């Protein structure tokens, strides 16, 4: 922090991360910096226009200066809000993301998309505003519920499939059976996976900050994911639905002759290995199919997907035939006859 030479630092956090924010705050005070602390309420509802307004008012009241710094300590809800506040305060001050969830570290904190929700929908008020630094301590993940941890691993494995196969090797080989608690059982491997995943996202975003083309490959597994999350009324978590979505994308690529069956098998193996689902209930998949058609990735003639031409070789495929989509969807339900 000393290198940034602020006078004051805003620390924004949330209930699940407040112990880590306390540590950050103590460290800043030891450096003789003035700290303005803001504890957001819990959950997605707190990522709101009114929260951002409250923080902005507090900081303006504390005479925050152009050289001062905003720090977000928490999950994606916190880093999205802290980044948005930093983007708008005094037309932009520097900010640092300290993600304390695996999803936050691998996705939300990297890439400079900041936003809050409006009543009409998610992330409707936002800005592209890159953090000055992203600082991750994987030890903070030790308090995450297992479902959050496993869900975050789905994003890490996504980076493995689209760009860095070494991630798949590390995770696939990190024990005979399922690892229950990666933070304690395989700390070095976890750190390596997180660093590699963050590097993949940072590199892709650096090449395509405003989502002109390449950045779309980050949506691998996400077309079915969004539809499944909606179809199950969020009974399936984001990570669980991305996992099934990636198996579906692999089946579709295989159906189109782009990848061999063993690459599809690798998806199932490595995702199952960390405790992620590789299929969903038939009724949920049936409900998700029409939603997928309404997805913004659909084109006039057919559906558009991020698929693989091999591990580490993502490709955007347009106008995919509906029959192929149904065939691939069948394979993530456990049914033998096509839907
Ligand atoms: N900006 C982007 O590019 C981007 C990308 C992906 C997701 N997002 C956003 O990220 C948000 C989701 O992120 P999230 O899953 O981190 O949600 P979140 O911030 O709500 O955190 C999930 C839960 O974990 C708790 N928590 C945080 N750190 C913890 C820890 N170390 N131990 C125990 N509990 C902890 C939180 O209090 C919360 O209950 C969404 O708002 C989404 O829109 C943004």
Cα-atom radius of gyration of the chain, to the nearest Å? 21
CB 59 within 8 A of CB 85: yes
322 and 288 part of one domain: yes
pLDDT at 248: 98
243 and 94 part of one domain: no
Helix (H, G, I), strand (E, B), or coil: what is residue 262? helix
Strand partners of residue 35: 9
Q: How many domains does the chain have?
A: 2
Residues of the domain holding 117: 2-141
100 and 199 part of one domain: no
Region 84-97 average pLDDT: 98
Beta 8-13 vs 34-39: how paired, if at all?
Answer: parallel
Pocket of ligand 1, beta carbon within 6 A: 14-17, 42-44, 47, 74-78, 80, 100-101, 103-104, 107-108, 111, 113, 123, 140-141, 143-144, 148
Residue 152 lies in a domain: yes
What CATH number is given to the structural domain containing 190? 1.20.1090.10
Region 143-155 average pLDDT: 95
Whether the pLDDT of residue 301 is over 70: the answer is no
Residue 39 lies in a domain: yes
C-alpha 211/C-alpha 243 separation (Å) is 23
Helix (H, G, I), strand (E, B), or coil: what is residue 100? coil
Helix ranges (H only) for the chain are 18-30, 49-61, 76-88, 102-103, 146-162, 165-172, 182-185, 187-207, 222-231, 238-255, 261-273, 282-294, 322-330
Helix (H) or strand (E) holding 126: strand 121-128
For the chain, the average pLDDT equals 94
87 and 202 part of one domain: no
pLDDT at 303: 82
Whether the pLDDT of residue 327 is over 80: the answer is yes
| Neighbour tally for 31: CB within 10 Å | 11
68 and 176 part of one domain: no
Show which of 125, 141, 157 is a domain's final residue: 141
The residue whose CA has the least distance to atom 5 of ligand 1 is 108
CA 241 from chain center: how many Å? 13
178 and 268 part of one domain: yes
Region 36-59 average pLDDT: 98
194 and 269 part of one domain: yes
Which residue, among 218, 165, 174, 172, has the nearest Cα to 196 in the 3D structure?
165
Residue 192 lies in a domain: yes
Count of H helices and E strands in the chain?
Answer: 13, 9
Ramachandran bin of 298, using left for φ above 0, alpha for ψ from -120 to 50, beta for the remaining angles:
beta
Whether the pLDDT of residue 9 is over 60: the answer is yes
Ligand 1 center to 218 CA (angstroms): 18
Query: Helix-strand-coil percent breakdown of the chain, rounded to 5?
Result: 55, 15, 30
Quickly state the pLDDT bin for 296 (edges 50, 70, 90).
Answer: low
19 and 106 part of one domain: yes
pLDDT (tens digit, 9 = 90+) per residue, 172-192? 998 767 788 899 999 999 999
pLDDT at 289: 93
pLDDT (tens digit, 9 = 90+) per residue, 235-273? 999 999 999 999 999 999 999 999 999 999 999 999 999
Region 72-77 average pLDDT: 98
Among 1-10, 45-54, 223-232, 291-300, the range of highest mean pLDDT: 45-54
Q: Catalytic one among 37, 58, 215, 258?
A: 215
């Amino acid at each position: 922090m000393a290198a940034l030479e602020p006078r004051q630092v805003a620390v924004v956090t949330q209930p699940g991360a407040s112990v880590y924010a306390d540590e950050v705050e103590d460290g800043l005070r030891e450096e003789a910096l003035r700290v303005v602390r803001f504890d957001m309420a819990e959950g997605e509802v707190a990522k709101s226009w009114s929260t951002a307004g409250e923080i902005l008012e507090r900081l303006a009241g504390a005479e925050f200066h152009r050289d001062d710094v905003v720090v977000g300590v928490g999950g994606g809800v916190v880093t999205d809000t802290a980044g948005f506040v930093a983007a708008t305060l005094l037309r932009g001050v520097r900010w640092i993301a300290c993600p304390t969830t695996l999803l936050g570290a691998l996705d939300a904190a990297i890439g400079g998309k900041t936003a809050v929700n409006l009543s009409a929908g998610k992330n409707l008020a936002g800005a592209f505003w890159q953090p000055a630094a992203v600082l991750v301590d994987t030890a903070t993940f030790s308090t995450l519920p297992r479902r959050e941890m496993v869900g975050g691993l789905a994003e890490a494995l996504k980076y493995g499939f689209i760009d860095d196969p070494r991630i798949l090797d590390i995770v696939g080989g990190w024990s005979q059976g399922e690892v229950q608690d990666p933070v304690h059982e395989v700390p070095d491997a976890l750190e390596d996976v997180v660093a590699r995943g963050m590097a993949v996202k940072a590199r892709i975003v650096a090449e395509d900050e405003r989502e002109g083309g390449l950045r779309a490959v980050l949506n691998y597994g996400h077309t079915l994911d969004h539809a499944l999350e909606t179809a199950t009324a969020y009974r399936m978590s984001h990570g669980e639905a991305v996992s099934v979505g990636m198996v579906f994308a692999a089946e579709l690529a295989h159906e189109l002759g782009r990848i061999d069956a063993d690459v599809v098998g690798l998806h199932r193996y490595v995702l199952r290995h960390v405790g992620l689902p590789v299929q969903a209930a038939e009724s949920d998949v049936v409900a998700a199919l029409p939603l997928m058609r309404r997805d913004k990735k659909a084109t006039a003639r057919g559906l558009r997907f991020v698929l693989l031409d091999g591990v580490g070789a993502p490709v955007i495929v347009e106008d995919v035939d509906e029959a192929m989509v149904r065939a691939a969807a069948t394979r993530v339900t456990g049914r033998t006859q096509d839907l």
